[in-house]
Amino acid sequence: KMSDESSDTDDTLSTNTSDEESEGESDLSDDGIGGFYGDEPEYSKEEFKKILSEAKQKQESSSSSSDRSDDDLDSSRLENLHWCKCRKCVIGMDFALEECLCCQECGILAEKLQGIKCITEHKGFNDYILSPYALEITLIVKRRQKKIFKKLKKITNRQYRYAAYHQYSYWTHYYEILGRHKRVVIPSCAVKKIKDTFPEPIGGHYTGFKRALADNVIDHE
């Protein structure tokens, strides 16, 4: 949330410039950068329950997003990297406990991790998640869905990161219904790689972990 980011919603994806703004439903909501979930279909309560039930059954039959239970989230994860198996995770002073997740702990990544130690080594991670060209297309598509057809000006690293996190979510959870009530926990190693590729300027601010008040939604920015 830097002051050098444009607030012109016609020419760039809108951002909030205040570091003091609430992390709840501000710039990561449908009114925020690109509105990534704003164009998804709306369902009745019964339809949505059925969709979630089917997605849960499919997920449980293959592998879960994370093999950890709530009991596994002990505070020692914030003290050292004993939980990291890929050797590329990091922890920071402002980390939340839920951010201490290694890609090797994510059962859903088992197939993609065959032959490699870290998800960041996967060719698809580089091609889909770290490519500015791929991320630019993602941002352009979302703008077109919002009927914004003006030329996209310079994209900030913050916007690239936002697009990259969502690209990762769809790349790894393509069969699930994602949205404001269903977000994905991104492994620390993947978040680090994205931040290293699209860093904030010196002294910049990363929003980091965000838990939605309503249903414990987890998101990154």
Amino acid 31: pLDDT: 31
Amino acid 82: pLDDT: 93
Examine the pLDDT at 76 and tell me if it is beyond 60: yes
Amino acid 149: pLDDT: 81
CA distance 190 to 17: 25
Which percentage of the chain shows pLDDT scores above 90? 28
CA distance 31 to 14: 8
Q: Which two tokens stand for residue 153?
A: 């000006």
| Contact of 173 with 65, CB cutoff 8 Å | yes
CA distance 214 to 221: 19
Closest CA to 169 of 191, 200, 193: 191
Q: Write out pLDDT tens, residues 130-153.
A: 999 999 998 888 788 888 888 778
47 three-class SS? helix
Q: Write out pLDDT tens, residues 154-207.
A: 899 988 998 999 899 889 987 665 555 556 788 999 999 999 999 988 766 666
pLDDT band at 17 (very low <50, low <70, confident <90, very high): very low
pTM equals 0.63
Examine the pLDDT at 115 and tell me if it is beyond 90: yes
180 three-class SS? coil
Helix (H) or strand (E) holding 218: strand 218-219
Examine the pLDDT at 13 and tell me if it is beyond 60: no
Which residues neighbour 166 within 8 Å (Cβ) at sequence distance 6 or greater?
A: 36, 138
